[in-house]
Amino acid sequence: MAKIELGKRINQIFKKTKGWVKDHPKETVLLVLIILVGAFLRLYKIDQYMTFLGDEGRDVIIVRRLWVEAHPPLIGPGTSIGNMYLGPLYYYMMAIPLLIANYSPVGPAVMVALLGVLTIFLVWWVAREWFGGIAAFFAAFFYAISPTVVIYSRSSWNPNIMPFFALASIYLMWRVWSKKELRLLILAGISFAFVVQSHYLGLALIPVMGILWLLTFWQAKKDKKEKRKLIMNTIWGVAAFAILMSPLLIFDIRHNWQNFNAIKQFFTVRQDTVSIKPWNAIPKMYPRFEDINARLIAGRDVEVGKWTTIIVTGICAFLVLTKRKKLGSAFYLLIVWMGFALLGFGLYKQNIFDHYYGFVFAVPFILTGAIYQKLYKNNIVKILLVIGFLILAYANFSNSALNVGPNNQLKRSQDIAAFIRDRANGQRFNIATISERNNRDVYQYFFQVWGAKVVDTDPNAVAYTVTDQLFVVCEKPKEKCDPTHDPSAWIANFGWSKILDQWEVSGVIVYKLGHNK
């Protein structure tokens, strides 16, 4: 019976889609072209352009262990600040693509790229429903070609899934409020779990989602039946969120609430992390908005980003003052969403990197698209809008991620690992790295896949874990390489050593150390 109902539902969707395509041929062609361009930018030579450094090496080691050792992880990647860990959802997302790719790290990267393509469609879908076809075209087109978005859409890394799930979370909550589709609260809870487990900055969505829920509750308060449905679906949504977060809870229970205490310390010991004074954020909000526009919609062009911010801010203020009743709830939702994001960034005292913007990636594209939709009526204004469109397109294409040659980080790691494996002559060996932004996991992973006899040194089990040879990969300039005295734990655990041999491989120095008896 369930199969019959599912079949009917799929058939209805197919017929509705076919009808929409027939009624909107031009929009369909434009959407398909945008999707194809976005897919090309994300998938073209992805094995050569993808990032494969320490974080990516660590992730594939953990996910491979899930299949090979039947070892399901309870925690995800560690954060860059404090002793905090994310949930393991991203690792489980990686598992099937890694297996399908026969344990090649390219598999999870392709998964992220395809999710990035799906995000282009979601941006188009949401912008069209909220504002119309012009807004949808503008938002989807620039989201598809934005260099920053593309870069974070073609590598396997937990923050890279956030844009899709963040937009999905807000859109689902908007449907709950505006369309009274209360069952979507369950999907919103699931989607928000993915957001939080991709990066803790996703918690900044709570005020926005909370406001939408409160508006829904306010509308339903006089209808007991509707109110009961809202509460029950909210419980189911929270339950879905809690179930997906439960591995992290189990880990915390087992480890004396390590993660909870780290998060608590992050927010209570605020000298170097966050401020609790909202007014401190106000002077930083506009510069941060300018940076978001420059990094995302203006193709990383600072000057174009500055002018885009001035124009968007001015037009938004003008529209709110003159046409506030005609703008629609979605327009104000975008402003509130961005407003809370800017407030959060303003209170944060550490450096803010591009991937931190993941939970608002879609906002500047849809907001600017909405402005185009609202103003694209007067012929003179149309000319100005087209000029603006062309300037933004030029800025994005001229700074395209494909204009820079591939980094070949994956191949480089494989080549170095293969070289070390061959020089080990089938004997047990230890591995260490000297690097400012990489670690030995990128080589360790291939040793494990190939069955090489690599051993982790353990100061508590020296007799069993310290071998007769230690290979050190130094990624610094040669004059800064001192493998026998480097303070790295993996080198220190090996004990007193001397250089037996050294080679230059793929732009790095590989040292072979032996014990200095």
β-partners of residue 509 are 474, 504
pLDDT confidence of residue 4 = 66
Pairing, β 497-505 against β 508-515:
antiparallel
Q: What average pLDDT does range 82-90 have in this prediction?
A: 85
pLDDT confidence of residue 117 = 98
For residue 501, pLDDT over 60 is answered with: yes
Closest to 365 (Cα-Cα) out of 36, 40, 159, 137: 137
pLDDT confidence of residue 265 = 73
DSSP string, 323-339: HTTTS-HHHHHHHHHHH
For residue 268, pLDDT over 70 is answered with: no
pLDDT band at 463, cuts 50/70/90?
confident
β-partners of residue 471 are 431, 512
pLDDT confidence of residue 20 = 74
Rounded-to-integer distance, Cα 370 and Cα 312, Å: 10
Rounded-to-integer distance, Cα 405 and Cα 401, Å: 8
Rounded-to-integer distance, Cα 484 and Cα 85, Å: 33
pLDDT band at 271, cuts 50/70/90?
low
Pairing, β 470-474 against β 497-505:
unpaired
Q: What average pLDDT does range 99-108 have in this prediction?
A: 96
For residue 266, pLDDT over 80 is answered with: no
Residue 134 and residue 372 in contact, taking contact as beta carbons nearer than 8 Å: yes
pLDDT band at 457, cuts 50/70/90?
confident
pLDDT band at 57, cuts 50/70/90?
very high
Amino acid residing at 242: A
pLDDT tens digits, residue range 122-174?
999 999 999 999 999 999 999 999 999 999 999 999 999 999 999 999 999 99
What is residue 440's DSSP assignment? T
pLDDT confidence of residue 82 = 61
pLDDT band at 380, cuts 50/70/90?
confident
pLDDT confidence of residue 270 = 52
pLDDT confidence of residue 251 = 87
Q: What average pLDDT does range 243-253 have in this prediction?
A: 91
Rounded-to-integer distance, Cα 479 and Cα 64, Å: 37
Q: What average pLDDT does range 336-344 have in this prediction?
A: 94
pLDDT confidence of residue 14 = 78
pLDDT band at 413, cuts 50/70/90?
very high
With pLDDT > 90 as the criterion, what percentage of the chain qualifies?
Answer: 70
For residue 516, pLDDT over 90 is answered with: no
Both structure tokens of 95: 């598992």
| Mean pLDDT lowest among 11-15, 307-311, 403-407, 493-497 | 11-15
Q: What average pLDDT does range 382-400 have in this prediction?
A: 94
pLDDT band at 269, cuts 50/70/90?
low
Q: The sheet that has 430-434: what strands, in order across it?
A: 430-434, 470-474, 508-515, 497-505
Q: What average pLDDT does range 291-295 have in this prediction?
A: 96
Q: What average pLDDT does range 430-438 have in this prediction?
A: 90
For residue 274, pLDDT over 70 is answered with: no
35: number of Cβ within 10 Å: 17
Rounded-to-integer distance, Cα 127 and Cα 147, Å: 21
pLDDT confidence of residue 445 = 95
pLDDT tens digits, residue range 304-339?
999 999 999 999 999 999 888 888 999 999 999 999
Residue 361 and residue 149 in contact, taking contact as beta carbons nearer than 8 Å: yes
Quick one: 12 exposed, middle or buried, by C-beta within 10 A (0-12, 13-18, 19+)?
exposed
For residue 2, pLDDT over 70 is answered with: no
pLDDT tens digits, residue range 366-376?
999 999 999 98
Contacts of 478 (CB under 8 A, 6+ apart): 509
For residue 29, pLDDT over 80 is answered with: yes
pLDDT band at 17, cuts 50/70/90?
confident
Q: What average pLDDT does range 275-304 have in this prediction?
A: 89
pLDDT confidence of residue 275 = 67
